[in-house]
Amino acid sequence: MTAAIRQRVRPRTAVDRFLTFLRFALTALVVFGLFAFLVQQFVGPDNPLTRFLNEDANRLDWDAFRGLLVSGLSQGSMYGLIALGYSMVYGVLGFINFAHGEVFMVGAMTGLITSNKLFEAGVWDDAFPVAILIAVLVSTICATLTAVLMERIAYRPLRGAPRLIPLITSIGVSFFIQNTSALLLGPGAKRYPLLPQWLRDDRGPTWLRIGGQKILVIVVAAAAMAALWYLVERTKTGKAMRAVAEDKEIASLMGIDVDRTIVTTFAIGGAMAGIAGILWGILFGSVTEFTGFLPGIKAFSAAVVGGIGNLGGAMAGGLTLGGSESLAPQLILEPLGVTGHTQLKDAVAFLVLIYVLLVRPTGLFGERLSAEDRA
Amino acid sequence: MSDTAMSAPADLAPARAPLDQDWRKVVNYGLVLGLALVFISLTGMPDGLNSRVIVEPWLSMGYLSLMWLPFAIGFAVTHEQVLEGMVQHKRGARELFAGAVVGLIGGLCLSLLVYLLDTRDLSDPLVNWNQPLLDFLTRDGSVGEGVLLWVGVSTALGLFGGLMRIVPALGSRLVRAVILTVVGAAAMEALIDDLSEGVWKLEGVVEWLYHPREGLEPAGAIALAIAAAFVVLWLGRQLKKGGAVYNLAREAQPLAVNAVSVVAVAAAAILLPIFLGRLTNDLLVNVGLFVLLALGLNIVVGLAGILDLGYVAFYAVGGYSVAILTSPTSPGISPTLPFWLAIFIVVGMATLAGLFIGAPVIRMRGDYLAIVTLGFGEIIRLTVRSDWASGLTGGAQGMLSIPGPDLNIGGWTLPLVGWTMPKLEVDLMGTNPQHILYVVMFFVAIAIYVSWRLENSRIGRAWMAVREDESVAEAMGINTVTAKLQAFVVGAILASFAGAVFAAKVGSIFESSFKILVSIVILVIVIVGGMGRIAGVVAGAFVLVGILGGPNQPGLMAEFSEYKLLIYGALLVWMMLKRPEGLIPNVRRSRELHQEEFLQDAWLRGEVDRDEAGSEATTDEGWAPA
Amino acid sequence: MSGERLLDIKSLSVTFGGLNALHDLDFHVDKGEIVSVIGPNGAGKTTFFNMISGMVTPTSGDIVYRGDSLLGLDPNQVTARGIARTFQNVRLFANMTILENVMVAQHCRTKVGVFGSLLNTRSFRREEEEIREYGKEVLGFFGSRLVGYRLDQTASVLSYANRRRLEIARAMATKPEIILLDEPVAGMNPKETEELTGLIGKLRSEWGFTIVMIEHDMKVVRDVSDRVVVLDHGETIAQGSYETVSNDPGVIEAYLGRPIEGNAS
């Protein structure tokens, strides 16, 4: 059935006109902010335009810009890793697994516990690569288990329900895991052991010196992404996943075990989130029970921005989102004269989501969904 | 549903032998029970709730938090789905045995925890792995005593759970009534204390029931249990008769009876706050706020089927509008309008906000809409908090000295007659919970009226059609965009009322009151109450916010504040899995969610056409579209 | 059958990702006609309906109804102008009562807004009464099956044939001029089919509706149609009275060379 395919010919209703206005207004703000930024950078902060918008305008120097960009990209690659889980589950089951952010938190939490135990045993300082490998292993396993259990207990009984039902369920699951962590492990921030000095050193040529842990995060994320790509595109499991995503019924007629494939999907998404959890620990050094919530929602936004169901898109969306939330306050908001622009970092992430959905609802790289989910 | 409440048909197969069990199921349930017991112990709930005594000195809320489980799972394991054509056996020793085995397995798991607590130290990641927990589980005795205690108690309770399947319906009703009464009376101690204060003789009775410190006296508990049993056995029947009389009267004289009911409810609403103390009034105000919010969200989610996770945004709009308009110290513009005038502007602001947030999201897929509204909620909160907006909203410092609504409605003179309305000589400004309660009740009454009228109107039907199948609703001539926007705006206005009252009640406003958490808690209330049902939603707010507490507000059981979010999360999952229609289901909604079962029942009752050859009732629709 | 021209469709085409679902289709309906659209599966019949009712926007061409173009209108606006439809795979509001199903269909014929319902105004009550009565009248068209105690039952309890009937009633309740029936007798047994065939005739003779119908059952098509249009691969391959069309070699070929009569349901 193609009943719901709709193309808009021209704006007709007030709502349409309002949406068009919003699209233009947002685009204009972005363009204008960027223009003001460019003027401030290349003409100088003392010209009337810049001063008119922002009295305290200053040039942004390269080091600061690079810092923002790199931290944006490293965070973005983390979002990308989490976004893969959202994207795959949405592709296969057609619902938003709101609790996927908590899987990431479980990864970060168990990674933290393992690291601290290893630190107490002295392994962390003596043989860091071994320690981090163990930590990654433990957190990946725990995150995978969490994701699989979640599917088994909360989602499998709801297979075939209207899509809002599993979404509401997943909100409950998210709440449950968050508070379980607070109650079992105690509330508040918990610190990772300090990384060894050689890892924290800045590296690279003088004009491009980057903190070692950020390099590590980006490299690990890229490796995980490559492994996933291989798995989905080149193996039998991946083929089964793609078939189930396209049409569950036909896939099962073709002899694919749909339940098992769905579990695999959750497991892979969980593993990616577990790796992202460890990377979070390396990058920020501390974890709370709320660690999963905002990054989770942002990662979902990243998946939508990149085009849901599209794995490359998820990663690209993550980088886009991480980059924009890190850079946009300085590049767009500040030149526009918004005071305290860094406080609006999280708001920027949501604005990116809204903007993309307004301008290009299928995401930057196009969504890949089965026909029934597209409706 | 095969419930014990159902009168047993005559053609039952003989009871099975105790050992003729579905062992896999029994062991699984036992392990689930054990896991749950260990989990709850490690969350610190039993120990944390131990200070809340139910029957002094026998039973505390802490022990109850563990003890309800073997009972419930013992009851659950003996549940058997009986479908048409299946052999139905008589129930007997087999059920008891299954319950006991499940309880035993659970008790053994907990005993293992007791043993490990004593011998291992896992307190590093698990913060509740400590001596107090061990002491709690062993009742300050040795490990052996603890093991014996839990194996015994858990087995007994599991057996008891199984027993509930065997006893006739009246028996299980009795047990339910007794348990609910005793636990409820203990939970509502503060409320009852408050109510009885100053009332002749009642104060003495209440003092006799309760222990001086906290909890019921054993004698008091027994007296309450007997009273509850009496109510079930005798009063229940009388009440049913009374209800029948009421229904008859209502049929005969609908207007008069309705008028009397309305007057009675209004009188109770006016008189009740006077008899209540400050604490209870405060509690009821909190409950009322959430009733208001939940009724609003119920229109959006329950009727129109739009999952709005950023509902808190409208709550914030109401609160901040009132703060800016009425507080003399608000930064930026501070017109210091009176509350009642500000309310009109609040309605306007909420409408604008509803349209502004609604318009971009209204055409999105339902699940995208959920996340984007959540995003809008956060954007509004972050903006309000930021330095950028602090010139208007006070940023993170918030706004203070918001005057309450002025209820002093007197002093005016009727023209021509020259009669002057007597001025109520009470100070109704400020944050007195007793007076705010009137304001809350006023708005709740509005909300109930609005929900009720709209549900049974052209607009309400359009909302339901949109919820059922959007593209068909569109093809049947309903402008779905308008319909959804209307739902959004009506919901937004109700939430903004709640925000306005909240600001007036607290007297100050901070962004921290408007986190996503609030949206989710409101959603839990709506879902637990039953989407689309007014009475259910009100009841849901009373039970959840009144007893466990709201996101920032303590309930009657303040001890739960640490655990209530965990409970809310678990409740949400459980509701979606087991009873998506809520505790007090809307018949309509439950039909949607249990469509197949209903179809089957209807078929059995002969309500589905069977006279038409070749067209059997089809169940192929399965789940109705969202 | 030379009434006033109601619906005039001119060289309508639609493309889905390179696939020509409909190609250069011309079609017209006069007032009081019953036109059947037939064609093998995948011929584009349902797409054709979706396009008239505004659910799919054509790539090129025009749909003119009473002299005005329907292009760019939302489905609800098309319905408000007087074109109602049913769905091939019955899509009722399963959890609303039967009466509510036909009441909600009169949405675009009523106008009391939020305030009217809140204040319970006289016009609100009058309107409610009117749509309730009209709803019952429409349901009464199908005999006693959908009225009486049935009115307050949810649509989900209905049998398959009754669901189809309620779908037609719902379309009638929108007070249309043209009703588009998408396979109205699909899945019905011969007795029911015969009865409904008669009712379709009555829809015109008693209620004055103009009808466009997609149907696979050739007996029904023969019994009620004034004109038959045959689609194949998104194009009109034949048009005319049932006799003309059923003897058209191109049509017979489109149906894989089988004779149409008798076994094409």
Residue to test with chain B: of A6, A15, A336, most B Cβ within 10 A? A15
Given a cut of 80, is residue B610 above it in pLDDT? no
> Average pLDDT, stretch B205-221?
81
Name the minimum distance, in Å, from the CA of C93 to any CA of chain B: 6
List all residues of chain A from 1 to 60 with a beta carbon under 8 Å from chain C: 1-10, 12-13
Span of A317-326, B54-63, C162-171, C221-230 with lowest mean pLDDT: B54-63
> If you average pLDDT over every residue of chain A, what do you get?
87
Span of B334-343, B600-609, C170-179 with lowest mean pLDDT: B600-609
Residue-level pLDDT at A43: 82
Residues of A with Cβ-Cβ distance to B307 under 8 angstroms: 164, 167-168
Residue-level pLDDT at C167: 92
**Is the bond preceding B218 in cis, omega lying within 30 degrees of 0?**
no
Residues 6+ apart with CB under 8 A from C43: C231, C232, C233, C234, C254
**CA dihedral (B277, B282, B286, B291) positive or negative:** positive
pTM of the entire structure?
Answer: 0.89
Angle made by CA atoms C160, C166, C168, in degrees to the nearest 5: 110
Q: Please name the residue of chain A whose CA is at the shortest distance from the CA of residue C88.
A: A1
Residue-level pLDDT at A25: 92
Q: With bands split at pLDDT 50, 70 and 90, how would you rate the model's confidence at A212?
A: confident
Q: With bands split at pLDDT 50, 70 and 90, how would you rate the model's confidence at B494?
A: very high
In the block, tokens 């019949």 appear at: C45
Tell me whether residues C79 and B477 touch, CB distance under 8 A.
yes
Contact C86, C171 (CB under 8 A): yes
Q: With bands split at pLDDT 50, 70 and 90, how would you rate the model's confidence at A374?
A: low
Of A125, A124, A101, A241, residue with least CA distance to A178: A101
Quote the percentage of chain B above a pLDDT of 90. 33
Angle made by CA atoms B405, B409, B413, in degrees to the nearest 5: 150
> If you average pLDDT over every residue of chain B, what do you get?
82
B47 is written with which tokens? Answer: 């120990």
B239 is written with which tokens? Answer: 């009440």
Given a cut of 90, is residue B151 above it in pLDDT? yes
> Average pLDDT, stretch B168-177?
83
Q: What is the pLDDT of residues B268-323, one digit of tens each?
A: 888 877 777 777 888 889 999 999 999 999 999 989 989 999 999 999 999 999 99
Tell me whether residues A344 and B45 touch, CB distance under 8 A.
no
Whether chain C has a CB inside 8 Å of the CB on B619: the answer is no
Alpha-carbon distance of C73 to C69, in angstroms, equals: 9
C31 is written with which tokens? Answer: 């007032």
Alpha-carbon distance of A182 to B127, in angstroms, equals: 10
Other beta carbons within 10 angstroms of residue B70's beta carbon come to 33
Given a cut of 50, is residue B223 above it in pLDDT? yes
A61 is written with which tokens? Answer: 């120097």
Tell me whether residues B378 and A172 touch, CB distance under 8 A.
no
Q: What ipTM score was computed for the predicted complex, to two decimals?
A: 0.91
Residues of B with Cβ-Cβ distance to C104 under 8 angstroms: 458, 461-462, 464-465, 473, 476, 478
User: What burial class does residue A187 get, using C-beta atoms within 10 Å of its C-beta: 0-12 exposed, 13-18 middle, 19+ buried?
Assistant: middle
Tell me whether residues A353 and B520 touch, CB distance under 8 A.
no
List all residues of chain B from 238 to 277 with a beta carbon under 8 Å from chain A: none
Alpha-carbon distance of B291 to B515, in angstroms, equals: 18
Whether chain A has a CB inside 8 Å of the CB on B378: the answer is yes
Residue A25 domain-assigned?
Answer: no
Neighbouring-strand partners of residue C211: C34, C179
Residue A24 domain-assigned?
Answer: no
What DSSP designation does B554 have? B
Alpha-carbon distance of B26 to B33, in angstroms, equals: 10
Span of B234-248, B484-498, B534-548 with lowest mean pLDDT: B234-248
| Residue type at position A74 | S
Residue with the bigger pLDDT between A273 and C262: it is A273
Angle made by CA atoms B196, B202, B203, in degrees to the nearest 5: 65
Q: With bands split at pLDDT 50, 70 and 90, how would you rate the model's confidence at A11?
A: very low
Residues of B with Cβ-Cβ distance to C162 under 8 angstroms: 609, 612
Residue-level pLDDT at A265: 93
Residue-level pLDDT at A46: 79
Q: With bands split at pLDDT 50, 70 and 90, how would you rate the model's confidence at B609?
A: very low
Angle made by CA atoms A120, A126, A129, in degrees to the nearest 5: 100
Name the minimum distance, in Å, from the CA of B600 to any CA of chain C: 9
Ranges B8-22, B412-426, B429-443, most confident: B429-443
> Average pLDDT, stretch A321-346?
86
> Average pLDDT, stretch B182-186?
85
CATH label of the domain that carries residue A174: 1.10.3470
> Average pLDDT, stretch B26-41?
93
Domain ranges, residue A348: 60-374
Interface chains of chain A (3 or more CB pairs under 8 Å) = B, C
Of B187, B205, B248, residue with least CA distance to B542: B187
Q: What is the pLDDT of residues A60-103, one digit of tens each?
A: 888 888 889 998 999 999 999 999 999 999 988 888 899 999 99
Alpha-carbon distance of C29 to C235, in angstroms, equals: 17
Q: Does domain C5-254 have CATH number 3.40.50.300?
A: yes
Q: Please name the residue of chain C whose CA is at the shortest distance from the CA of residue B619.
A: C156
Alpha-carbon distance of A198 to A214, in angstroms, equals: 13
Q: With bands split at pLDDT 50, 70 and 90, how would you rate the model's confidence at B267?
A: confident
Dihedral in degrees, nearest 10, Cα atoms A260, A265, A268, A274: -110
Residue-level pLDDT at A338: 82
Neighbouring-strand partners of residue C180: C85, C212
DSSP states along B222-279: HHHHHHHHHIIIIIHHHHHHHHHHHHHHHHH-HHHHHHHHHHHHHHHHHHHHHHS-HH
* Coil vs helix vs strand at A211: strand
Separation in Å, CA B410 to CA B267, B427, B600: 20, 12, 61
Q: With bands split at pLDDT 50, 70 and 90, how would you rate the model's confidence at B620?
A: very low
Residue-level pLDDT at A160: 77
Domain boundaries, given as residue ranges, for chain C: 5-254
> Average pLDDT, stretch B199-207?
75
Tell me whether residues A9 and C72 touch, CB distance under 8 A.
yes
Q: With bands split at pLDDT 50, 70 and 90, how would you rate the model's confidence at A7?
A: very low
Closest to A158 (Cβ–Cβ): which among B307, B371, B576? B576
Of A315, A350, A320, A319, residue with least CA distance to A86: A315
List all residues of chain B from 66 to 125 with a beta carbon under 8 Å from chain A: 124-125
Span of A44-58, B347-361, B454-468, C103-117 with lowest mean pLDDT: A44-58
* Coil vs helix vs strand at B309: coil
Span of A186-200, A250-264, B439-453 with lowest mean pLDDT: A186-200
Residue-level pLDDT at A52: 77
Closest to C55 (Cβ–Cβ): which among A3, A8, A10? A3
> Average pLDDT, stretch A203-222?
83
Q: For A257, phi and psi rounded to 5 degrees? A: -80, 100
Q: With bands split at pLDDT 50, 70 and 90, how would you rate the model's confidence at A271?
A: very high
Q: With bands split at pLDDT 50, 70 and 90, how would you rate the model's confidence at A364?
A: confident
Domains of chain B: 1-167 (no CATH), 171-252 (no CATH), 268-408+427-591 (1.10.3470), 594-626 (no CATH)
Residue-level pLDDT at A297: 92
Name the minimum distance, in Å, from the CA of A157 to any CA of chain C: 22
- In chain A, % helix, strand, coil (3-state, to 5) comes to 75, 0, 25
Question: How many domains is chain A partitioned into structurally?
Answer: 1
Separation in Å, CA B312 to CA B396, B463, C146: 17, 22, 44
- In chain B, % helix, strand, coil (3-state, to 5) comes to 70, 0, 30
Name the minimum distance, in Å, from the CA of A331 to any CA of chain B: 16
Given a cut of 60, is residue B621 above it in pLDDT? no
Given a cut of 70, is residue B259 above it in pLDDT? yes
Q: Please name the residue of chain C whose CA is at the shortest distance from the CA of residue B456.
A: C117
Residue A96 domain-assigned?
Answer: yes
Q: What is the pLDDT of residues C16-74, one digit of tens each?
A: 777 778 888 888 899 989 999 988 877 788 888 998 998 888 888 889 998 888 888 88
Neighbouring-strand partners of residue A5: none
Q: With bands split at pLDDT 50, 70 and 90, how would you rate the model's confidence at B596?
A: low
Interface chains of chain B (3 or more CB pairs under 8 Å) = A, C
Residue-level pLDDT at C73: 86
Q: End-to-end alpha-carbon separation of chain C, Å?
A: 27
